[in-house]
Amino acid sequence: MQYTFQFSQVTRYIPYLLGGGLVSLELAFLAFCGGMVLGLLGAIGKTFGGPVLRSLVRGYVVFFTNTPQLVQVYFLFFLLPDAGIILTPFMAMLIGMTINAGAYLTEIQRAGFLSVRPGELEAAETLGMSMLQQVRYVILPHVMRTLFAPLSNHYILMVLGTSMGAVFGVEELTGRAYSVNAETFRSIEIFSMVGLIYVTITVLASALLAVLGRVLFRVRMKVI
């Protein structure tokens, strides 16, 4: 069976697909920011909290890192309406990705906390800093320098993970690709283009993060 490539039938959809790429970046960015907040709180609780708080955070991390993210979003989108809570596809994806990212980022940031030298914390205590002041002025600057590279890599993975939004009708890149495919039936051409767009936006995002890391935290990163 011979297949004739006809990219001319799908090139007019490139702006539409690029718009979906921007939605993917937006969704990943918002979920990453929310996940960073959850992860910071979780890392503080797991590192400095009491036995009960540490157990609760541990349970949260274990559950959300050992169940598929697709199942978590499925629960939010399809099961919550039975409790009277109706979410749009975008909101369900955003909340699901945020909670999932928070679990992973809890462990990443906790590793950063543990990498802080005890002498620095002892010096902060000697200066009369509260726990929040120690986190803000001592721990976080050290954590960002140490963990900027793995945090950046996790963001790139989150950008790629937005593709599951197509299952719920989110108009991100893969979702728009499905729509175009339903109109043109040129699957190979469409998803070849989508693959190139994903590569482009992830490389650009990686380059931007590398620049930010060098400027803000003096971190040297390789662009993927």
Tell me the pLDDT tens digit for each residue of 144-160: 778 888 889 999 999 99
pTM given for the model: 0.88
Residue 7 within a domain: no
Count of the separate structural domains present in the chain: 1
pLDDT above 90 as % of the chain:
60
Cα 94 to Cα 4, 33, 80, 101, 169: the distances in Å are 39, 11, 15, 10, 13
Question: Is residue 5 in a domain?
Answer: no
Buried b / exposed e over 109-127, threshold 16 CB at 10 Å, is bbebbeebeeeebeebeee
Q: pLDDT of 188-222, one tens digit each?
A: 999 999 999 999 999 999 999 888 888 877 777 77
Domain that residue 90 falls in:
15-217
Distance separating alpha carbons of residues 12 and 180, to the nearest angstrom: 10
Question: Which residues, other chains included, contact 155 with Cβ-Cβ below 8 Å and sequence gap of 6+?
Answer: 28, 29, 32, 205, 209
Please check the confidence at residue 179 and state whether its pLDDT lies above 60. Answer: yes
Any domain includes 43: yes
Residue 23 lies in a domain: yes
Instruction: Give the CATH number for residue 97.
Output: 1.10.3720.10
Residue 205 forms part of a structural domain: yes
Domain-embedded: residue 121:
yes
Q: How confident is the model at residue 1 (pLDDT cuts 50, 70, 90)?
A: low
3-state secondary structure of 134: helix
Q: Is residue 212 part of a domain?
A: yes
